[in-house]
Structure 1
């Protein structure tokens, strides 16, 4: 076996480095860390994608909180409360009729004609 290795290393000098046990251990260690470890490279990619999605959700909800805070500030006036109730909950005054026009169904029926 030793003769075969010496023949190969004399013929191919780069194999001399590959048969070094320190190199082999280092290659094994790097391979283990890259593919099989708990915090492997591919696991990091998945975790980074999840982090990105969560950060986007955080930013979205921060924007929504700001919008809601602005709406709450407006609702201190009685006229704004009435306007909000009419727009969001379709409330009405006495002796008043409300007609709700769904824009999506109107546009669909126009496109079919």
Structure 2
């Protein structure tokens, strides 16, 4: 009986009930509840990682682009590697590695 007489005034306290109801509402039913916030933090972290990756890639590409604008040897190297271009007195042989079976 002592426990019930102690719990009953606590349950009747309208301010405590309002705080509990507010906390439950904010934790579970609000559009910005705890679970949504956690998911948004994960998405933000993934976006920041991808931003860092793309920033690094842009810096690399700017470096290559600047080198191609200023260095004729780099232009020649790029053309030979990417587009298989050649000089007039050269022949290019492309050797493909792989287990290609001949059909008869």
**What TM-score do you get using the length of structure 1 for normalisation?**
0.72
* Cα distance in 1, alignment partners of residues 40 and 83 from structure 2: 41
**What TM-score do you get using the length of structure 2 for normalisation?**
0.78
Root mean square deviation of aligned Cα: 2.3
Aligned to 1:59: 52
Classify 1:27/1:99 alpha carbon distance in 2 versus 1 (closer, same or farther; 3 Å): same
Residue-by-residue CA offset, 1:61-93 (whole Å, 9 max, x unaligned): 110011011101211211110101222233333
How many residues align? The count is 97
The answer to whether 1:90 aligns with 2:84 is yes
Aligned to 1:9: 4
Equivalent position SS for 2:36: helix
Stretches of structure 1 that go unaligned for 5 or more consecutive residues are 1-5, 107-113
- 1:29-44 aligned at under 5 Å gives the runs 29-44=22-37
Runs of 4+ in 1 over 6 A off after TM superposition: none
